[in-house]
Amino acid sequence: MSDDAHPRLRASEQDGRYPRPQLLRERHQPFDRGVGFAYDDGDVGLDERWFADAGRFPTEIRLPFPPESPASGIGDTGFHPVVWYRIPVPADDLAAAGYPGQGDRLILHFGAVDYEADVWVDGQHVGRHVGGQTPFSFDITAALGAHGRRGEHAVVVRAHDDPHDGTMPRGKQDWQLEPHVIWYHRTTGIWRTVWLEAVPSLSLAAIAWTPDPRAGTVALEADLSRSPGPGDTLRVEVTAGDRVLADVTMAADDRHLELVVPLHVQKNGQQHEELLWWPESPTLLDATLTLRPAGPGIADEVSSYFGLRSVGVERGRFLLNDRPRYLRSVLEQGYWPESHLTPPSVDALRAEVELILSLGFDSARIHQKVEDPRFLFWADRLGLMLWGETASAYRFAATAVERLTGEWLEIVRRDRSHPSIVTWVPFNESWGIQHVSSDPAQQAYCRALADLTRALDPSRPVVSNDGWEHVDSDLLTIHDYEASGEILTARYASAEAIEELIRGVGPAGRRLTVDPAADVGGKPVMVTEFGGISYVTREPGDAAESASWGYSTAQTPEDFERRLAELVGAIRSSPVVVGFCYTQLTDTRQETNGLCDEHRRPKLPAEVVARIVRGRPRGPAPTT
């Protein structure tokens, strides 16, 4: 593909539909449609070779929705640990994916399959993946056989997801038949987009950006599909609108390439502030990467983007671009009644970001879930800061350590280039490490995962265990569901009051730190779960209309507004706390403590919530 063959795609201006927004090619073919489906409750499909028998799939399911959801067309919420899919792939799909014009290799991508996935193409096993939240892909070119582009092919997927296995990272997926308290229906099998894409034989498999605003550079890591040959090159162009900030070419002499790209971001010795990424002005810089073979062959050209910004902590402050920042966050479950953990449409991802911003928040804590990369794109594009979290396992065991560690490292590698992500959270409320306060093995696990996160991404703070029993956190985060604003105000009134809280027992009856003697005085303090006021606004016929649960209850709109203003005001009045996260954005079935109902309808006018959330303008956070 020549440099002048078509207008350059600006990744920052994409429509948010491409499943991998920071490695964007010109064409792809999603399978968001009806395909064959079957339950395998007896787990006989492998022995009976269902992967080679088209007659075994009598039911239709609509991808990418999980079979438990109404949107899938099935809506069966029972226990079905093994499910199968058969996806017909006609020749038109190959052409739509750009095969072979965009490249001579055909890649089959999966956004996520919960939990273990085996994949066949035309009866040939092409790969296996373990981990329910992370993407994976296989080169299926050879499996297409001699017919290649002709005729119809078939992709078959077997997914295994044991609902009672506590060593799997499951998050809020209930182990009981019906949702209870804060848990909700399970997500089995395919729950993110499956798609085809053609690439050249030498192509870019993954890229990562690490900006350094102080130095005016960005570090690029690029993984190639295979080892390059002599004379192969990688060209990197970075632009801000029509302004060229960098244009460098390097030898592609290794399968893993690293390059520090100087950016022309200064003029007359002054850095251009307008190029920095802020929530109020989320500037994205576009990049075009061209991997060109020295000999015959097609060059691989991809579009990408990044944000020029830094995140850090210092003397009790949270820093964005070296400036103190007070975070106004909301807990985001990312659950919809009709489609569960999968959004009902791609457009719903943008709408979710816009909803959060309209309520006055500048950040969101993605809770017990890894969000769709297209959600992260809209957060990057519209200026919403995010806390990156994972679904937790429920047990501490060697298998759980292996599973969560492997999946978490994939999560960090997938998402570390997104400027919207400002903090990593590998554990929440000691889920899966229930005895971390006293068990050295669990402490070592928690500390190791925090350090592994820093090893992969030293550019962001890490919260080792959000809420309490911190082992090695860069932020001191506290969960506090006290219903009295007066008590909250007193609890966080001064550095001395918070110091006493830290050295004793926290609001939930758990230690805030594993080692009370540890030096935590200089760490930023945030209340990262509070509120949780239940207020039911369901209309007749809404799901679970008789059930409701929350940490406290409001009876009328006026009562809800008063309680909300009292709790948020109490946290904001603290001279020490530098950020908060309100529980939560929306209701999730019986958990009715959302600012919006489960259909995203605000329970109070959005401007009223925004006024409460923003409060009075704040000065810089104090040194503690």
State pLDDT tens for residues 91-122: 999 999 999 988 899 999 999 999 999 999 99
Separation between Cα atoms, residue 350 and residue 371, nearest integer Å? 12
Q: How confident is the model at residue 619, as a pLDDT?
A: 47
Separation between Cα atoms, residue 554 and residue 532, nearest integer Å? 10
Separation between Cα atoms, residue 293 and residue 278, nearest integer Å? 38
Mean pLDDT on 232-244: 95
Helix (H) or strand (E) holding 331: strand 327-332
Angle at CA of residue 105, ends 103 and 106, nearest 5°: 105
Q: Check whether 624 has a pLDDT greater than 70.
A: no
Mean pLDDT on 65-70: 98
What's the number of CA atoms in the CB half-sphere (13 Å) around residue 95?
7
- Specify the fold of 325-614: TIM Barrel (3.20.20)
Separation between Cα atoms, residue 306 and residue 148, nearest integer Å? 37
Ranges of beta strands (E only) in 416-497 are: 421-425, 476-479
Q: Check whether 542 has a pLDDT greater than 90.
A: no
Separation between Cα atoms, residue 273 and residue 429, nearest integer Å? 38
DSSP-assigned letter for residue 508: T
Q: Where in the chain is the domain with CATH 2.60.40.10?
A: 214-306
Q: How many CB atoms lie within 10 A of CB 458?
A: 9
Determine how β-strand 323-324 pairs with β-strand 317-320: antiparallel
Please provide residue 576's backbone torsions phi and psi, each rounded to the nearest 5 degrees: -110, -40
Q: Check whether 477 has a pLDDT greater than 70.
A: yes
Q: How confident is the model at residue 271, as a pLDDT?
A: 62
Separation between Cα atoms, residue 317 and residue 624, nearest integer Å? 9
In single-letter form, the type of residue at position 89 comes to V
Answer for the pair 528, 478: CB distance below 8 angstroms, yes or no.
yes
Answer for the pair 464, 473: CB distance below 8 angstroms, yes or no.
yes
Edge-to-edge strand ranges of the sheet holding 476-479? 421-425, 385-389, 363-366, 327-332, 577-583, 525-531, 476-479
pLDDT in tens, 458-473: 999 999 999 999 999 9
Q: How confident is the model at residue 295, as a pLDDT?
A: 87
Separation between Cα atoms, residue 227 and residue 257, nearest integer Å? 11
Ranges of beta strands (E only) in 412-502 are: 421-425, 476-479
Averaged confidence pLDDT in the chain: 93
Residue of 307, 266, 265 lying closest to 285 (CA atoms): 307
Separation between Cα atoms, residue 548 and residue 589, nearest integer Å? 8
Q: How confident is the model at residue 547, as a pLDDT?
A: 74
User: 373-382 and 347-358 helices cross at what angle (nearest 10)?
Assistant: 40
Q: Check whether 540 has a pLDDT greater than 80.
A: no
- Three-state SS at 214: coil
DSSP-assigned letter for residue 173: B
Q: How far is CA 370 from CA 12, 138, 191, 298, in A?
A: 22, 21, 12, 35
Q: Where in the chain is the domain with CATH 2.60.120.260?
A: 31-199
Longest Cα–Cα distance in the chain: 74
Q: Check whether 544 has a pLDDT greater than 80.
A: no
- Over its C-alpha atoms, the chain yields an Rg (Å, rounded) of 25
More confident residue, 147 or 197: 197
> For tokens 């064959």, what's the residue?
36
Angle at CA of residue 116, ends 114 and 120, nearest 5°: 110
Q: Check whether 270 has a pLDDT greater than 60.
A: no
For the purposes of burial, counting CB atoms within 10 Å of the CB of 356, is it exposed (0-12), middle (13-18) or buried (19 or more)?
buried
Q: How confident is the model at residue 272, as a pLDDT?
A: 74
Residue of 198, 190, 170 lying closest to 431 (CA atoms): 170
Residue of 207, 175, 188 lying closest to 132 (CA atoms): 188
Q: Which of 142-156, 179-193, 226-240, 323-337 has the weakest average pLDDT? A: 142-156
Phi-psi region of 383 (alpha: psi -120 to 50; beta: other; left: phi over 0): left
Separation between Cα atoms, residue 144 and residue 150, nearest integer Å? 9
- Three-state SS at 411: helix
Q: Which of 9-18, 448-457, 572-581 has the weakest average pLDDT? A: 9-18
Q: How confident is the model at residue 620, as a pLDDT?
A: 45
Q: Which of 2-16, 48-62, 207-221 has the weakest average pLDDT? A: 2-16
pLDDT in tens, 122-167: 999 999 999 999 999 999 999 998 666 677 999 999 999 999 999 9
- Please give the structure tokens belonging to residue 549: 């649960």
Answer for the pair 195, 31: CB distance below 8 angstroms, yes or no.
yes
Select the CATH number that applies to the domain covering 31-199 from these four: 3.90.190.10, 3.20.20.70, 2.70.98.10, 2.60.120.260.
2.60.120.260
Answer for the pair 118, 80: CB distance below 8 angstroms, yes or no.
no
Separation between Cα atoms, residue 193 and residue 598, nearest integer Å? 23
Q: What percent of the chain has pLDDT over 70?
A: 93
540 CB-near residues (< 8 Å, 6+ apart): none
- Please give the structure tokens belonging to residue 165: 């296995």
For the purposes of burial, counting CB atoms within 10 Å of the CB of 6, is it exposed (0-12), middle (13-18) or buried (19 or more)?
exposed
Select the CATH number that applies to the domain covering 214-306 from these four: 2.60.40.10, 2.60.120.10, 2.60.40.420, 3.30.70.3000.
2.60.40.10
Q: Where in the chain is the domain with CATH 3.20.20.80?
A: 325-614
Mean pLDDT on 538-553: 70
Q: How confident is the model at residue 4, as a pLDDT?
A: 45
Residue of 420, 206, 149 lying closest to 309 (CA atoms): 420
Mean pLDDT on 340-364: 98
Separation between Cα atoms, residue 578 and residue 238, nearest integer Å? 35
DSSP letter for each residue of 333-355: ---BTTTBTS-SSSHHHHHHHHH
